[in-house]
Amino acid sequence: MLETEPDLSERLFSEIDFTNGAVAAVSGGSDSTALLLLLKDHLDRTAPATKLLAVTIDHALRPDAAAEAQAVARLCAERGIAHRILVWSGPKPSTGLPAAAREARYRLLAEAAKGEGIDLILTGHTADDQAETVLMRQARDEGPREEGRGLAGMAPSTLYDWQTWIIRPLLGTRRAALREILRRAKIGWVEDPTNEDDTFERPRIRAALAAGDGGQRMDGALALASRAAAEREQLGRRAAALIRRYASQPAAGLIRLDPDLVASGDDQAAVHALRVLLATVGGVAFLPDQARSEVLFDRLRGEPFRATLSRTAVDARRTGVFLRRENRNLPPAAPAEQNVFWDGRRRITLSDKSDALLIASLSIAPLGAASAAKRATAADGTPSSLVRAALGPEPALWRGGECLGLPGNSQVSATIAVQPAVAPFARFLPSFDLEPAGAVAALIGAPPVPVLPFGGRNAGP
């Protein structure tokens, strides 16, 4: 049993729903080691039947990484905790290494969770990490044009790949407090030398926070993150309300905005809604530039026009503003494969009963000017030319040179399914942005956002 303040683990974990178990990401550093042991202590007292799996990712970037992973394995064995080591194999990028390592880490953690039937991952990010993140983004001058989105820092919860929740229960806890807990328990931890390597941005910020006024700077950064997060959530709620009121989907791949959107009286939220929709229609992971989006929004008050932004064709007419994927830079024909994220807009899955020979004969490519597109119309009177233009970039099934049509309408529709995706949030959906993501998902027919794993429900005794 760890010697901690009586209510610490209650405060950290009592509201998390562990019904389906949990994966704890454990590097061997102080933060993740404390997370694991505090979590184990909490579950032993409140829900001992809960499935708990510790996962260590060996990024294969340092000679000592494998030995450090084995040290975590020994700690877990001593505590009766299931543990796995996963290695990031293959070539590593020469630039953008931290971002690539982060993507690989979450992918491997999610794969481990899915393999165990778990949809919840806990990480050891602390208040110190949050302050560093905010100061890094502030140093890059993020925030003013982004309505504070970047300065909100890390969200307490993030949905990965639209199916696995990543929870950060230690964001309100300082690293020093966690290390004191480990010292009292006589448990060591690994000091990652990359945390001292000033080649990278985070170690430089960390060193600056260790200076004389570091405490004040950290408090200021955390207060800024709290304010920015609240503003971001509020903006998202307002944007979601506008999407639900003014946006419709007359045909697959085509979004219509009511002209009254520009007169809603909330330009800030309307621009944000427009940005989310542009990124979704274009299949882009990041929202379009704030300034360019504001210019585009202002143009909606005037005469009809056509423009493109974030791979989205904008056709502003008196009857409405129509958004569709522009008909260029589309994916080439490719074999039909399981769980392909096609063009950043559509997730393609294969049925468990798929005929292997049939699948091998098929490919996925844009519908283009195939006869199915030529015959398309919309029941609400939307011009057929717009419907056809929107369907052209949609993924269709092909066999040789023959188009079999869109998966839902083709002769092999039971074999292959295509689901729309909310592109800017398809990989990482911070809890700050749940409202607009949910509104767009309902609009385009994407799967709903999974429920947040909170509410104080545990796995039982």
Pairing between β-strand 22-25 and β-strand 363-366 as defined by DSSP bridges: unpaired
> What integer pLDDT is reported at residue 203 of this predicted model?
73
- Res. 352 pLDDT band, cuts 50 70 90: low
pLDDT at 354: 62
Q: Are residues 35 and 150 in the same domain?
A: yes
Given a contact cutoff of 8 angstroms between Cβ atoms, the answer to whether 125 and 171 are in contact is yes
Average pLDDT over residues 147-164: 86
Cα separations in angstroms, 263 against 243, 244, 259, 299, 368? 14, 15, 8, 13, 36
Mean pLDDT of 159-163: 96
Res. 143 pLDDT band, cuts 50 70 90: very low
pLDDT value of position 343: 97
Given this model, what pLDDT does residue 457 score? 42
pLDDT band at 96 (very low <50, low <70, confident <90, very high): confident
Q: Specify the pLDDT at position 6.
A: 54
Domain hosting residue 102, numbered range: 8-229
Domain assignment of residue 213, yes or no: yes
Domain end marker among 200, 229, 258: 229
Pair 345, 216 in one domain? no
Residue 200 lies in a domain: yes
Average pLDDT over residues 351-366: 80
- Report yes or no on 436 lying in a domain: no
Confidence of residue 376 (pLDDT cuts 50, 70, 90): low
Note the pLDDT tens digit of each residue in 27-80: 999 999 999 999 999 999 999 999 999 999 999 888 899 999 999 999 999 999
Domain membership of residue 460 (yes or no) is no
**Helices 267-282, 214-246: crossing angle, 10 deg rounding:** 80
> What is the tens place of the pLDDT at every residue in 401-423?
888 888 876 666 667 888 999 99
The reply to whether 206 and 342 lie within a common domain is no
CA distances from 351 to 133, 183, 412 (A): 41, 52, 10
Q: How many domains, in total, are found in the chain?
A: 2
Q: How confident is the model at residue 92 (pLDDT cuts 50, 70, 90)?
A: confident
CB atoms within 10 A of CB 317: 14
For 215-239, what is the mean pLDDT? Answer: 93
Residue (of 256, 248, 255, 288) closest to 272 by Cα position: 288
Answer whether residue 272 is part of any domain: no
* Residue 359 burial class via C-beta count within 10 angstroms: exposed 0-12, middle 13-18, buried 19 and up: middle
196, exposed or middle or buried, with CB in 10 Å at 0-12, 13-18, 19+?
Answer: exposed
CATH number for the domain including 60? 3.40.50.620
One-letter amino acid at 312 equals T
The pTM (predicted TM-score) of the whole model is 0.91
- The stretch 111-130 carries a mean pLDDT of 96
Domain ends where: 212, 229, 246?
229
CB-based contact 423:345 (threshold 8 Å): yes
From 229, 248, 271, the end of a domain falls on 229
The overall average pLDDT reported for the chain is 89
pLDDT score of 208: 72
Is 150 among the domain residues? yes
Cα dihedral across residues 259, 260, 263, 264: positive or negative: negative
Residue 328 lies in a domain: no
Q: Is residue 451 part of a domain?
A: no
Over residues 268-316, the pLDDT tens digits come to: 999 999 999 999 999 999 999 999 999 999 999 999 999 999 999 999 9
Nearest to 22 by CA among 114, 172, 98, 122: 122
